[in-house]
A = this chain, B = another copy of it.
């Protein structure tokens, strides 16, 4: 039986606009994006947050966001997960999560993309996606997954914030 899990879903910061000759996965955080993400990371650290693991999409804007969180001391190591890319599959991710939980760790952060993150949160909390959660860039969602093998529709939402409502 898995332990209760605090799951933090963090959207990447503000990135470069799409451009004809810039592949989408290569789009980097802008100066403003870095600055805001850095302020979020500082706030999370001041609030005493610490993650046992941080998994991120491999896309540059997500990986850079994860690095900022790591440099702030919120987590020691970063892992890249293809399941967190924009085309990541929800069912596969859930299966991965159930395996991850078998380690007995209780604080997991994911850095990824919209609409995936807010959709997945809704599935965990209400059992189905309705697209009614507003997750801004560098914003975050906090969920508590109960001691169930299947957390779908059984998790609770304890946090949802935009960067501007955090500092």
Contacts and interface: CB of A to CB of B under 8 A. Distances in A.
A161 to B, nearest CB: 6
16 contacts: A47-B164, A47-B165, A125-B130, A125-B132, A126-B132, A132-B156, A132-B157, A133-B156, A133-B157, A134-B157, A134-B158, A157-B160, A159-B160, A159-B162, A160-B161, A161-B165
A158 B160 contact: yes
A161 B164 CA distance: 13
A55 interface: no
Given A126-B130, A130-B126, A158 B162 contact: yes
Interface of A: 47, 125-126, 130, 132-134, 142, 144, 153, 155-162, 164-165
